Amino acid sequence: VGGPQNIEVLGLDQADQKIYLLRHYLDGRGRLPQLYYYQFNRKQSPEKLIEVKSLYINPKTKRIDYDQNSQKFDREIAKIRKRLKPLTPIRASSAKIQILSKKTAYVTSWFDPEIKVPQFNYTYRLRYGNLKSTIQQAVDYKTGLSISQRYQIPQQNKVLMTVKYLGIPFETGYSIEDPVLLLSK
């Protein structure tokens, strides 16, 4: 069974200069949400999203296991949440998606190999005042791109947004949310 992928913004760790977020996979698999962070005090690429793998190591197999019991994971996420400062939501009207290119291809549908469905490949950038993101990519199957969450980073000239689109084409189609960091360049 399919399902959407949603982003939960956890907040800012001011001491470590990190913003933490979780990608929730709301499908039938029941896997653990994926933890990510942005590291602001990196000299190069502070807008690079870093995937956390250490929380997913199965104690028995010593390998990454996203399908294990969530108790240990939930305890570790609770520890992280305690030290985070929430981000400030911002107005929707000032945030813009700048479409740099949109290419349409026709691909085999998931429900019938005889039928072709449109697939839209976007290259885009987000803008908010004098802040902008790096160039982003998305593959959409219907609705186009929309900004679903917008946050000001406390005491920094940075904004975190999420872009939502119909990125999973099977069954009735499911949305994907991608985080995007905007910096002054």
Residue whose pair of structure tokens reads 């219907």 in the numeric block: 142
Radius of gyration of the chain (CA): 18
Per-residue pLDDT of the chain (185 residues; tens, 9 = 90+): 788 999 999 999 999 999 999 999 998 888 999 999 999 887 788 889 999 998 898 888 889 988 888 888 999 999 999 999 999 999 777 889 999 999 999 998 888 889 898 999 999 999 999 999 999 999 999 879 999 999 999 888 899 999 999 998 888 889 999 999 999 87
Q: Of 56, 81, 185, 71, whose CA–CA distance to 129 is shortest? A: 185
Say which residues have a Cβ less than 8 Å from residue 34's Cβ, sequence separation at least 6.
22, 23, 25, 51, 52, 66
Q: Are 46 and 19 in contact (CB under 8 A)?
A: no
What is the Cα–Cα distance from 126 to 160, expressed in whole angstroms? Answer: 10
Q: Are 78 and 99 in contact (CB under 8 A)?
A: no
**Residue 60 confidence (pLDDT):** 86
Q: Count Cβ neighbours within 10 Å for each residue of 39-48 and write b for 16 or more, e otherwise.
A: bbeeeeebbe
Beta strands 136-140 and 116-128: pairing type?
Answer: antiparallel
Position 145: which residue type? L
**Residue 38 confidence (pLDDT):** 95
What is the Cα–Cα distance from 174 to 4, expressed in whole angstroms? Answer: 5
Q: What is the pTM for the complete model shown?
A: 0.91
Structure tokens at 44: 């190069």
**Residue 102 confidence (pLDDT):** 96
Q: Judge residue 159's burial from the number of C-beta atoms within 10 Å of its C-beta, 0-12 exposed, 13-18 middle, 19 or more buried.
A: buried
